[in-house]
Amino acid sequence: MATNLERARAEALDRADPLAGMRERFFLPEGALYLNGNSLGLLSRGAEESLARSLAEWRELGVRGWLEAEEPWFYLAERTGAMAAPLVGAEPDEVVLTGTTTVNIHALVSTFFQPSGRRGKILADELDFPSDIYALRDQLRLAGRDPDADLVLTPSRDGRTLDEDDIIERMTDEVALCFLPSALYRSGQLLDMERLTREAHRRGIPIGFDCAHSVGAVPHRFDDWGVDFAVWCSYKYLNGGPGASAFLYVNRRHFQRAPRITGWFGCTKERQFDMSLEFEPHPAAGQWQISSPGILGSASLEGALALTLEAGIDRIRAKSSALTSYLVELADARLTHAPYAFRVASPRAPERRTGHIALERDRDAQRISAALRGRGVVSDFRPPDVIRFAPVALYNTFTEVWQTVQHLVEIIDGREFERYGAERAVVP
Ligand SMILES: *Cc1c(COP(=O)(O)O)cnc(C)c1O
């Protein structure tokens, strides 16, 4: 009988996996065991095809592609947004593919942060992704506030996770906007967006979320929850490709609110080419677009999203939870005692985390991460002491999780990490 720690169990889980067939529709890097889809998702055949089609249309149609491409470029941002809408529980015109995440934070926070009287602060948290914090500080400065005084960063009790109670306690009558991550990029903790939205609204505070680390791994229900706005990138769990265009969501009750930062692609579609000097916003999330959509950085999404939709976000979530739970179970059994000395830094309850697991180690985490790369295991290191592993439902297997833990055991048994220096790559 196979014990829970044996490879045979992983193989049995793979045989029973209803999404097993999706793996062969992705290009898996040769000789690598890729567990980094939370940082950059892999290319699928579908994404390659829709991107190649756009290149061919540019070659063959030139400017006529805006209206005559198979999927006309002029409507690509709206159409791809509509395609992504079911993944976040939104209506088709509440989501648009545009800009990039940090740019979209500027576009939406400038609209939704409307300080008045006593209410002049933005509430965020100290474990936030740095780019988000830079943008929030800029928006405070642009509104004539003092970022040091007016950006409220909810502290973490353990340095890894946030307690929603601590966030809610800071939703005072001085807060004009809450902007929070759906999931923390280091520990992978998933925040209770429904509860945070309810509590913010109870206090008259609009709330937005950066869902870069959860869309494509976890179902969202923005409309049901009443979220005001959200942003997320397309190159992590959505497999859109490096730097591909990102998404934004605006709840339709805000369609009457004009964007603060405008550009001609936010105009009413029918009249954009009238070239009027008067900005007439398109009555949908599309009005927060600024520039022409980068067709070559957007075209991959059609094929990539089709795969996610075909697999189904609920099945993706179920498999993702099973994969991360399996990793936690193996880590507990094989990696937490001396000399391995790892700690599981992600929440233990699967419903409280997104699609990756963070393992922490007081010493040598960076060199161990380098040794993993040396063996072809692509995970990543986040300073000071975390290695992140994202077994992705669409293309990873339980056997790969088992192999990864086996690699870690061997790297430490053989002190293999000592062959690696402590210097960090520019992109770790
Ligand atoms: C990945 C990520 C980003 C990336 O921002 P870009 O503007 O696309 O470079 C921003 N915020 C969070 C929380 C992320 O996880």
Q: Single out the catalytic residue among 34, 74, 113, 129.
A: 129
Tens digit of each residue's pLDDT (9 = 90 or more) over 299-355:
999 999 999 999 999 999 999 999 999 999 999 999 999 999 999 999 999 999 999
Regarding whether 286 and 165 lie in a shared domain, the answer is yes
Best residue for ligand 1 mutational test, from 126, 129, 133, 190 (most atoms within 8 Å of Cβ): 129
Closest-CA residue to 239 (of 73, 78, 22): 22
Active site residue 210: yes
Residue 277 lies in a domain: yes
> Can you list the positions of beta strands (E) in 281-401?
343-344, 357-360, 377-378, 380-382, 386-389
Residue 303 lies in a domain: yes
Regarding whether 180 and 105 lie in a shared domain, the answer is yes
Regarding whether 350 and 259 lie in a shared domain, the answer is no
pLDDT number for residue 1: 46
Residue 241 has pLDDT above 90, yes or no: yes
Tens digit of each residue's pLDDT (9 = 90 or more) over 14-69:
999 999 999 999 999 999 999 999 999 999 999 999 999 999 999 999 999 999 99
CB–CB of 190/183 below 8 Å?
Answer: yes
Regarding whether 377 and 281 lie in a shared domain, the answer is no
* Total number of domains in the chain: 2
Closest atom, ligand 1, to C-alpha of 129: 13
pLDDT number for residue 3: 62
Active site residue 192: no
Ligand 1 centroid–CA 184 distance in Å is 11
Closest atom, ligand 1, to C-alpha of 236: 1
Rounded to the nearest integer, the mean pLDDT of the chain is 96
Q: Single out the catalytic residue among 235, 265, 398, 420.
A: 235
Dmax (CA) for the chain in angstroms is 75
* Among candidate residues 253, 278, 309, the one where a domain is terminated: 309
CATH code, domain carrying 259: 3.40.640.10
Residue 41 lies in a domain: no
Backbone angles phi, psi at 29, to 5 degrees: -55, 130
CATH code, domain carrying 384: 3.90.1150.10
Regarding whether 398 and 290 lie in a shared domain, the answer is no
Regarding whether 107 and 219 lie in a shared domain, the answer is yes
pLDDT number for residue 272: 82
Active site residue 236: yes
Q: In which band, very low, low, confident or very high, does the pLDDT at 5 lie, cut at 50, 70 and 90?
A: confident
Q: Three-class SS of residue 26?
A: strand
Neighbouring-strand partners of residue 377: 33
Q: Which domain holds residue 198?
A: 50-309
Regarding whether 212 and 108 lie in a shared domain, the answer is yes
* Among candidate residues 275, 309, 343, the one where a domain is terminated: 309
Regarding whether 302 and 222 lie in a shared domain, the answer is yes
Tens digit of each residue's pLDDT (9 = 90 or more) over 97-119:
999 999 999 999 999 999 998 99
Tens digit of each residue's pLDDT (9 = 90 or more) over 209-227:
999 999 999 999 999 999 9
Q: How many Cβ atoms are within 10 Å of 256's Cβ, its own excluded? A: 8
Residue 428 lies in a domain: no
Regarding whether 249 and 237 lie in a shared domain, the answer is yes
Report the alpha-carbon distance of residue 360 to residue 126 in Å, rounded: 19
* Among candidate residues 291, 309, 327, the one where a domain is terminated: 309
Regarding whether 192 and 65 lie in a shared domain, the answer is yes
| Nearest protein CA to atom 15 of ligand 1, as residue | 212
Question: CB within 8 A of 255, min separation 6: which ones?
Answer: 283, 284, 285, 287
Residue 330 lies in a domain: yes
| Nearest protein CA to atom 13 of ligand 1, as residue | 129
Q: In which band, very low, low, confident or very high, does the pLDDT at 427 lie, cut at 50, 70 and 90?
A: confident
Regarding whether 18 and 66 lie in a shared domain, the answer is no
